[in-house]
Every structure is written in C-alpha cells, then in structure tokens.
Amino acid sequence: MDATLFLEIVTPARTVFCGHVSEVRFPTAHRGIYGIYPGHTPLMTILGSGLLRFSARGHEHWTTLLGGLVEVRPDRVTILTREAETVDTIDLSEEETHRARAQRALIESRTEHDLELAQIALERSLARTEAMHLALILGPPTPPRCAKCGCERCECC
C-alpha cells in the first residue's frame, strides 16, 4: 500500500492545493476533528469551519476552511470548501477588527438570516486567528509540496 494520500482542496474560485500527503486532519460540522491516513475507510461528511492540517514531505501545513463537503477514499481526500486561506494572506490586527464586528453583529442581529451571516463571519475570524496563533507558535508553514514528487501542484498523477 502507498504511504500517501492524494489531497485536493477546491473552492468555487480555485484549486488551493493538490498533491500527495501522509495525513490529513480537518474539522467536521458535527463530529469533531477527523484524522485520515492512507487506507482509510471511505466516507463523506460535512466540513466544519476551522483548520485543515496536513503533512507532506515531513512538514506540517495548514489552511483555514469555511464549511463544505469532504469525500474520503482509501487513497484520496477531496475537500470542497466555500473558502480556504493560508497564513500568509491573514493580517492578525485586521482580524481582531473583523472578530469584534462579527460579535457585535451577533448581538444586534434581528433576523435569522442576519444571525447566520454573523455566525459565519465569526467562524471565519476564529479560524483565521487560530491559524495565526499556530504560525506564531510553530513558525509559518513552508509552502506545501507534493509528498510524492515534490512539486507545488502535483504532476505525478
């Protein structure tokens, strides 16, 4: 059995990452964090908001996710998410302003739609803040590269 999984992270706007990884960890909407290794039992689940973490070529990488779907097969993980961001695109001081605005919107929401939008904004802000704090503790992640061939966008498949 191959010691890697093929991971594909896709948003409506772009493919964020595709390549071979040795493990994947992601938040689900209702069942906590899933850890996936090669040979995992097939499943589909609803993706939560938070950090996706994966290991490739001996380095840990992470990106924020904002909801979506995940399909797991023994040799592949496909993540379809509304949004995904890497640490290098996040400004922590700006994020504190966004979080305060989202918390205020939660308190002031008058309709269910307003409440849902405020919750999404707060989830996004909390995921970004968690990613930044992880970068401060561990150092910024190196750009992810395929665990099998070493390229940024997998060319070996």
pLDDT in tens, 61-115: 888 888 899 999 999 999 999 888 877 777 777 878 888 888 898 888 889 998 8
| pTM of this prediction exceeds 0.85 | no
50 within some domain:
yes
Three-class SS state of 65: strand
Q: Are residues 46 and 100 in the same domain?
A: no
Tally of domains within the chain: 2
Domain boundary among 26, 56, 87: 87
Backbone angles phi, psi at 55, to 5 degrees: -115, 135
Q: Are residues 80 and 97 in the same domain?
A: no
77 and 36 in contact (C-beta within 8 Å)? yes
SS3 content of the chain, % helix, strand, coil (to 5): 30, 40, 30
11 within some domain:
yes
49 within some domain:
yes
